[in-house]
Amino acid sequence: MVIVGGSGNNYGAILGGFVIWFFWVQVEPIGQTLMTLVTSGMADGSALKEHLLDSTAHMRLLTMGIIMLLVLRFSPRGLIPEK
C-alpha cells in the first residue's frame, strides 16, 4: 500500500491503502462477471468452462500484481511522491 501511494508521505500511504483495498474488494465480483460473459458461448459441461469459472478468485492476485507493475513502471516514487 505504501509503495503504491508513495513512501515518505502520509497522504500517499492513505491513498495507496484505499486503492489496494478498493481493488481487493471489487476485483473478484467483476472477475466472476467477466468470466461468465467470456464462457457464455461454451458448452455447459465443458471442463475448460468449469475451470475458468472456479479460478476467478485468482483474478484478485493477478490484478494486484498488475497494479504494482503499472505503478512501479509509470510512477516509481508512488502516486503521491515525497516532496
Residue 25: per-residue pLDDT: 92
| Measured torsion, CA atoms of residues 66, 68, 70, 76, in degrees rounded to the nearest 10 | -170
Range of the domain at 35: 20-74
Residue 81 included in any domain: no
| Count of helices and strands (H, E) across the chain | 4, 0
Tens-place pLDDT, residues 4-23: 888 888 899 999 999 999 99
Instruction: Note whether 28 and 59 are within 8 A (CB).
Output: yes
Tens-place pLDDT, residues 18-51: 999 999 999 989 989 999 999 999 998 899 999 9
Residue 14: per-residue pLDDT: 93
Q: Which residue has the cell 481493488?
A: 23
Count structural domains, the chain: 1
Residue 15 included in any domain: no
- The model scores a pTM over 0.85: no
Residue 70 included in any domain: yes
Residue 43 included in any domain: yes
